[in-house]
Chain A
Amino acid sequence: MIEGLAAVYIFLLAGFTGFEIISRVPVILHTPLMSGSNFVHGIVLVGAMIALGIAETTSQQVIGFIAVLLAAGNAVGGYVVTERMLEMFKTTGKTDNKGAHK
């Protein structure tokens, strides 16, 4: 469990990390990166699963079910579109899909 001051530390450090990641990004990657960060908050799926897991009444189960449904959409959709966009970046020299090269 993470409580109180420990959580504040995490908030701060993670906040700086996010800032640092984006600060030197070429404009061409803004859309894929927004999509990628959209995928990353798909981690809400984990929370949604727990919310449905601890649900006791029917109404709680219904809302928990909606939470998992939406969260899964966020995670899967975010992954698929980001991957599709990034798949297309390549240089003149190499037009195959070997991926990383300088």
Chain B
Amino acid sequence: MELIIQFSYLLAAVLFILGLKQMSSPVTARRGIHWAGAGMVLATLVTFAAEEITGNEQAATNVMLIIIAIALGGGYAWYTGKRVAMTDMPQMIAMYNGMGGGAAAAIAAVELLKAQAAVEAGTASSMAGYLGADVAILAILGAIIGTIAFSGSIIAWAKLDGRLNTSKLLPQQQLINLVLAVVLVGLAISVYMTGSLNLIIAFFVLALVLGIFITVPVGGADMPVIISLFNALTGLAVAFEGYVLGNAAMIIAGTVVGSAGTLLTHLMAKAMNRSVASVFFSGFGTGPAAAASADVDGTQKEVQAQDVGIMMAYATQVIVIPGYGMAVAQAQHKIWELTQLLTEKGVKVKFAIHPVAGRMPGHMNVLLAEAGVPYDMIYDMEDINADFPNTTVTLVIGANDVVNPAAKKDPSSPLYGMPTLNAEASQNVIVIKRGRGTGFSGVENPLFVADNTRMLFGDGQKVANQLIQAVKEL
């Protein structure tokens, strides 16, 4: 039986790796998640037969508890996962990731408590004596990482979900975090040395607090990077606890996620022109830098939907630049309808996606895909930027910072250096916007007052509807 279990774990790990590999291409992506899912079901089922679970006196109670816990946790996640709107996907991923980190930390807690009980009963001289030095150290490391990923992810979820709007907690937050981190390491060492129950509790509480303190100051625009980082950290914690339990599937899957997640975090930060360190140490768009940005001179020139409809219907090429605002207004279905109408009239329509459009890289593609837009109409920034001068109308809907030309020209702008879409290079720019305010980062946008730009104010969905009517009437 043991051999079958170990072989199943190995097979599950292989399925995870092949699944992730397939998920890295749009053509095979769906098959990828099914393979990984099969691996998970296999690993879970064989674990019920594991010696650790069946081979002791409380087996009956514990197996029942396992089934109840899976039903409750899985049921909750199934329900919320099916119901969550596509726009809220990032915070949901944060939530599930946090649960994984919490689980890894809880596994460590059980191991540490067992060791502590043994030390107290006198059957072992120390933590290391009971667990082995390597196991004890990795259990404690996994506990720190998992706990921070847990509380940090919950905060990330709360911030993205609009339940927590503060970015300031204490003065000198960075310094306090540094001190807490040092104290936490000290506690970890003393837990390892003494195995005292009170120290174990203090250790977990402090790690929870540190996760909260690290995440609260992070600016909204940087949230995806943090979520991705916590995802990688959870992977690492899972790998460490896998070593503690001698479980190959956990070690392999956790490490793969740890390294893949680290690279993904780096790619995301790069796409936003931020370094991972700066994400932690400066609240972007929350500090004084944003407020001090250069004022933009000029007036925004308004236009009516009727005129825009005519303009687009007789255009040779239209590029749509969607932003998170479009998704909030639920306008993506209407925009796709409009695209189909224009295509029928012989207009070439393309979608231009900035790497950080939406709330995280790739989020906008998901939102467009949900509306039915085929992914071969969707272009990445590098592929489409040279195409803007050949474009009759660029329609910016709900996007702001990603089309801000100040990022290229104005060194005093907080966005300076971030690659942006060259919307300003097209013949006409139409900006659909709710009102005259600034974007997610709070930075003024000179594009809105440019000579070739017209503003179309109103709710995204209503305006899209008006545009559809205008094109239909022609």
- A-side interface residues toward B, CB under 8 Å? 1-4, 7, 10-11, 14-19, 21-57, 59-61, 63-92, 95, 99-102
Contact = CB atoms under 8 A, between A and B. Distances in A.
A30 B264 contact: yes
Contacts of B251: 2, 7, 10-11, 14
Nearest to B343: A92
Nearest to B358: A31
24 contacts: A14-B252, A29-B26, A29-B29, A31-B361, A31-B363, A34-B93, A37-B231, A43-B43, A43-B249, A46-B43, A47-B103, A50-B247, A63-B106, A70-B100, A72-B69, A72-B71, A73-B74, A74-B97, A77-B96, A77-B99, A82-B33, A85-B366, A86-B23, A86-B29
Given A25-B267, A39-B33, A64-B65, 7 more contacts: A7-B243, A37-B231, A41-B100, A45-B103, A68-B65, A70-B103, A76-B73
A81 B374 CA distance: 20
Nearest to B9: A46
A15 B259 CA distance: 5
Given A25-B24, A82-B33, A76 B58 contact: no
Given A31-B363, A52-B62, A77-B81, A42 B40 contact: yes
Contact of B241 (A35, A44, A55): A44
Contacts of A87: 30
| B interface residue count range (under 10 / 10 to 19 / 20 to 34 / 35 or more) | 35 or more
A41 B366 CA distance: 22
Interface of B: 9, 12, 16-17, 19-21, 23-34, 36-37, 40, 43-44, 47-48, 50, 52-54, 56, 58-59, 61-63, 65-66, 68-78, 80-82, 84, 86, 89-90, 92-93, 95-97, 99-100, 102-104, 106-107, 109-111, 113-114, 117, 134, 227-228, 231, 234-235, 238-239, 241-243, 245-261, 263-264, 267-268, 271, 353, 355, 358, 360-363, 365-366, 369-370, 372, 374-378, 380
B58 A55 contact: yes
B74 A85 contact: no
- Max count, chain B CB within 10 A of own CB: residue among A4, A23, A75: A75
Given A41-B238, A56-B58, A85-B89, A51 B369 contact: no
B52 A50 contact: yes
A7 B90 CA distance: 33
Contacts, number: 401
A59 B19 CA distance: 37
A43 to B, nearest CB: 4
Contact of A32 (B73, B247, B362): B362
Contacts of B358: 31
B80 A77 contact: yes
A74 to B, nearest CB: 4
A68 B66 contact: yes
Contacts of A53: 50, 52-54, 56, 59, 62-63, 66
A44 B145 CA distance: 14
B50 A21 contact: no
B81 A68 contact: no
A43 B103 CA distance: 10
Contacts of B78: 76-77, 80
Given A92-B376, A100-B27, A36 B95 contact: no
Contacts of B271: 27
Contact of A47 (B12, B231, B238, B255): B238
Contacts of B65: 52, 61, 64-65, 68
Contacts of B48: 49
Contacts of A88: 366, 369-370
B204 to A, nearest CB: 10
B27 A74 contact: no
A2 B252 CA distance: 11
Contact of B377 (A15, A77, A92, A95): A92
A16 B375 CA distance: 30
B260 A30 contact: no
Contacts of A23: 263
B62 A34 contact: no
A36 B259 contact: no
A101 B90 CA distance: 28
Contact of A76 (B74, B231, B263): B74
Contact of B31 (A43, A50, A100): A100
